[in-house]
Chain A
Amino acid sequence: MPVTFTFGEMLSARSVIGSTLAELGDEHENLWVLTPDIGATLVEFRDKYPQRFLDVGLAEQACVGIAAGLAYDGNIPVVSGMLPFLSMRALEQVRSDVCYPNLPVKIIGTHGGLVGNGGSTHYAVEDLALMCALTNMTVTSIGDPLMVGEIIRQSMTMQGPIYIRLAVGKKDRVLYEPGQHDVRIGKGIVAREGTDATIFTHGTVVAQALDAAEELAKDGHSVRVVDMFTLKPIDEELISRCAVETNGRFVVVEDHLAYGGLASRVADVVADRNIHLSAFERLGIPQVYAGFGDDEELRNKHGYGLEATIAATRRAIAAQS
């Protein structure tokens, strides 16, 4: 069943995952779905293809290892769960069982960033740093709920593994009209055009960056927003182009540790390509265990909320050339 929506509406990315996998099960007879007891969104697939659904219970390590075993035998396994546990408990399985033999295992999950109010055991805030470090891994972080379906589809034909990160996935703002952008793994999306500065962002805070750009437009600032939903391989050409087209002013905002995530990926490109910048502002989670609170409160408390994004962008624009 196609998902219908209106622009700006709230949609559950989890429901998109559920319906997409159920559809893909028809097209790909070797598609398997596995979960360590986080199966609520997978019911549609489970009921349609009980033979290709596996809930292992509380056993993240075995879950990823079993997925690798299935992939060795020519299957396309999708592991769906909560990212703090998939990216950390099962890290060695991801690295040595999946990435090392370069198997087409897809890891998709929720709780990327300071979301869900579960406390630090339940926030995946180091996951992108860990996943980007793994050879062969493609790393994505998705904000637009409909895009999740598109990325899962595209990943079906990939040779190697992919990591797909979501926030809570229960209520996400639809950011793009279908067909509005050419969504391709490895290519950043210019979500809003601008010439005074670029905000690079991904995942749940893309919406916030768009709000910041809108706010800054009221003061006559033209701010570009790039949804860099693929962190690895990163879109180097787009980064180079933004440096030229937005006056060498970069702001990076992400729901991840400020060091080790997108900001670090962008900084690597800047260094490697010898790109000249006039400003580089980095907003993300500091090196603290963040505590409790709702998503927005935590972003504000830790310095990467809407106000902080606006202020950092103003600083970048005002910086001396």
Chain B
Amino acid sequence: MGHMSLTTGGSPHTVEELKELAFELRSKLLHLCGTYEGAVHIGGDLSAADIFTALYHYGLDVDPTDIANPARDRFVLSKGHAAVCMYIAMAMRGFFPYEGIVDTYGQLDSAYGMHPCKVHLPGVECSTGSLGHGLPLAVGMALSARGRGELHRVFCLLGDGETGEGSVWEAAMAARSNELGNLVAFVDRNRQLMTSFAEERVVFEPYPDKWAAFGWNVVNVDGHDMADLVGAIDRLPEVDSKRPTVVICETVKGKGVDFMERNLAWHAGSLGAADLERAMAALEASRDKESV
């Protein structure tokens, strides 16, 4: 990593270690989805699990014991419905105890709800949930950092469906206009919205060209290949460069659980106890397949 490090808790992880962490994150997500009685946005959590792992355990220069450090990298979850994936990734990074999530998720007065709330949960950078809001917020933070001459980055995670919102492109234009090379967007390109597949109702292609046409530095990666994700982070342009970067992560909605993969029924849902076992077995099986 090119920038300074606030990181406590050891050296950056190896790709193998990161894969283990991503597996643990998925297991914990399934556990929650199997025990919490309401719906969990499990499809878009699983598609983003490797991205979250690469960010919270490798890319983001943050210190869980010093969440207000002005030099920290900022992370804005624009696809706010993946909040629980972020909560668990943050818990695994040491921001707060995992048990708090499992024990209180979605309950009255819990800090951990369907969409992240900065007021209820310090450590989360922004309150989000309505799609199309995160990138403008990230542009504001990146502008502020520039104005103060600070050298941290601002990261933002979007859904590909979310990029249908006009505000995303308004912000994309502002980011290029203001030469925000300290801004990095990750797009979870799982090619599914809530009720349709990409290209079925909404034409996204040529997708990378759209970002390129807005003047962004475009990086395409396999969003489930940890080495690829780590490589993209390692090769980010200098913080004081002039083009914002978008890392388009090719992913599969529901990744790791065969009956959820590319299945519109699993945008959000809950697993009963029996299906939890089935899902866990599927997750194990998919790992075995990958390690062959």
- Residues of A at under 8 Å CB distance from B? 37-40, 55-62, 84-85, 89, 117-122, 289, 291-294, 297-298, 301
Contacts and interface: CB of A to CB of B under 8 A. Distances in A.
Contacts of A289: 117, 119
Contacts of A59: 164-166
Contact of A121 (B106, B112, B115, B165): B115
12 contacts: A38-B195, A58-B163, A61-B166, A85-B130, A117-B38, A118-B113, A119-B129, A121-B128, A292-B109, A293-B106, A293-B109, A294-B108
Q: List 3 A-B pairs, minimum CB-CB distance, nearest first.
A: A121-B129, A293-B108, A292-B113
Range, interface on chain B: 20 to 34
A62 B169 CA distance: 14
Nearest to A41: B195
Given A55-B196, A84-B130, A120 B164 contact: no
A137 to B, nearest CB: 22
Given A119-B115, A121-B127, A289-B119, A58 B195 contact: no
B166 A291 contact: no
Given A37-B161, A289-B119, 9 more contacts: A40-B195, A58-B162, A59-B164, A85-B130, A117-B106, A121-B127, A122-B129, A292-B108, A292-B114
A58 B161 contact: yes
Nearest to B194: A37
Contacts of B130: 84-85, 89, 121-122
Contacts of B132: 58, 89
B8 interface: no
A58 B164 contact: yes
Contacts, number: 93
Contacts of B131: 58
Given A58-B131, A59-B165, A122 B115 contact: yes
Given A61-B166, A117-B113, A119-B114, A292 B106 contact: yes
Given A37-B193, A301-B108, A57 B129 contact: no
Contacts of B119: 289
A57 B165 CA distance: 8
A37 B108 contact: no
B26 to A, nearest CB: 23
A117 B195 contact: no
B166 A119 contact: no
- B contact face: mostly helix, strand, loop, or mixed: loop
A121 B80 contact: yes
A43 B130 CA distance: 24
Contacts of A120: 117, 127, 129
Interface of B: 38, 80, 106-110, 112-115, 117, 119-120, 127-132, 161-166, 193-196, 201-202
A117 B112 CA distance: 11
Contacts of A298: 108
B196 A119 contact: no
Contacts of B110: 292-293
A251 B129 CA distance: 34
Most buried by B among A58, A289, A297: A58
Most buried by B among A56, A57, A120, A122: A57
Given A85-B130, A119-B117, A57 B164 contact: yes
A118 B115 contact: yes
Contacts of A293: 106-110
A84 B129 CA distance: 11
Contacts of A117: 38, 106, 113-114
A56 to B, nearest CB: 7
A297 B108 contact: yes
A56 B201 CA distance: 7
Contact of B164 (A56, A118, A121): A56
Contacts of A294: 108
Nearest to A39: B195
Most buried by B among A40, A118, A292, A294: A292
Contacts of A291: 108-109, 113, 117, 120
B107 A292 contact: yes
Contacts of B161: 37, 57-58
Contacts of A37: 161, 164, 193-196
Most buried by A among B112, B117, B195: B195
Contacts of A39: 195-196
A59 B170 CA distance: 13
